Amino acid sequence: MSLNIKDGEFILIDKELHWTSFDVVNKIRQSIKKKLNIKKIKVGHAGTLDPLATGLLIICYGKMTKSIDNFSAMKKVYDGKMIIGSTTPSFDLETKPNINYPVNHINEKLLLKTSKKFIGEILQKPPMYSAIKKNGVRLYKLAREGKKINREKRKVIIEKFEITSIKFPEVSFSVTCSKGTYIRSLVDDYGKELLSGAHLTWLRRTNIGDFSVNNSVKVMEFIRKI
């Protein structure tokens, strides 16, 4: 594989579990610098994926980094799983369940009906365990110190929120959404709307715009090919 340093390129990466989006960017940056024996090159990503999420990450290098905002603005598609009846401080498995809720009133009909309430433009509060900065500090760093900061709700668009499988208390789903949507927050809000609780246990991004994870490569696979 030859690198187009003059014009830059974008790379479709299938991010693996526990990697941060920055880990991917840094690994690819260092590998390109080493391969070409250069000191500097711009590398960035279009749309953060949490460490506990896998799937499609668009990496841009060189002049293509100017297109990052265009990629970021594209709609995203996710497949996920959640557990109904308990919540965690991080809304996912980064932290342990800390509160249990009643579930005897929940049935398949309620699960399906409730998911439809989130279709369209909604207001969503970002989780404390997120990369958003407050006074220059990432919120997740404050959260790990036991601090809780007020977060303003943001408008996001949910095009599709489909329940795909129910093996209660585990519920699988598919979401098509706009830029800036936190699937963890969607799951948390969904649990509240059920008059219960819920937390995310598995998440994979399958599409960004017309780009599919099926056409992506793992980080180390890309590095071996350059």
pLDDT at site 175: 98
Q: Quick one: pLDDT band at residue 133, thresholds 50, 70, 90?
A: confident
191-222 per-position pLDDT tens digit? 999 999 999 999 999 999 999 999 999 999 99
pLDDT at res. 2: 75
In this predicted structure, the answer to whether residue 139 has a pLDDT above a threshold of 80 is no
Lowest mean pLDDT among 47-56, 69-78, 102-111, 143-152: 143-152
What 3-state class would DSSP assign to 207?
A: strand
Label residue 69 by pLDDT band (50, 70, 90): very high
3-state secondary structure of 144: helix
What is the Cα–Cα distance from 175 to 158, expressed in whole angstroms? 7
pLDDT of residue 42: 96
Residue that has been written with the tokens 């960017």 in this structure: 25
Q: How far is CA 4 from the centre of its chain?
A: 28
1-20, pLDDT tens digit by residue? 778 877 899 999 999 999 99
What is the reported pLDDT for 145?
A: 73
Mean pLDDT of the chain: 94
User: Going from the N-terminus, what domains does the chain have, and what CATH number goes with each?
Assistant: 9-73+211-225 (3.30.2350.10), 76-208 (3.30.2350.10)
**At 141, phi and psi to the nearest 5?**
-70, -40
- Distance linking the first and last C-alpha atoms of the chain: 5
pLDDT at 136 > cutoff 90: no
What's the one-letter identity of residue 52? L
In DSSP terms, 212 is beta-bridged to 207
d(CA 128, CA 200) in angstroms, rounded, equals 15
Compute the Cα dihedral for 184, 80, 208, 210 and give only its sign: negative
- Closest to 53 (Cα-Cα) out of 129, 134, 167, 152: 129
Which pLDDT score is estimated for 130? 77
The pLDDT assigned to 118 comes to 98
- According to the model, what pLDDT value does residue 140 have? 75
Distance, C-alpha 88 to centroid of its chain: 17
Tokens of 44: 């960035």
Q: Of 14, 50, 92, 189, which is the active-site residue?
A: 50
Is 210 among the catalytic positions? no
Residue in 170, 221, 226, 219 with CA at minimum distance from that of residue 18: 219
- Kindly provide the b/e burial profile for residues 10-40, where b requires at least 16 CB atoms within 10 angstroms of the residue's own CB: bbbbbbeeebebeebbebbbebbeeeeeeee
pTM of structure: 0.92
Question: What pLDDT does 151 receive?
Answer: 82
pLDDT at residue 137 tops 90: no
User: What is the arithmetic mean of pLDDT over 167-187?
Assistant: 97
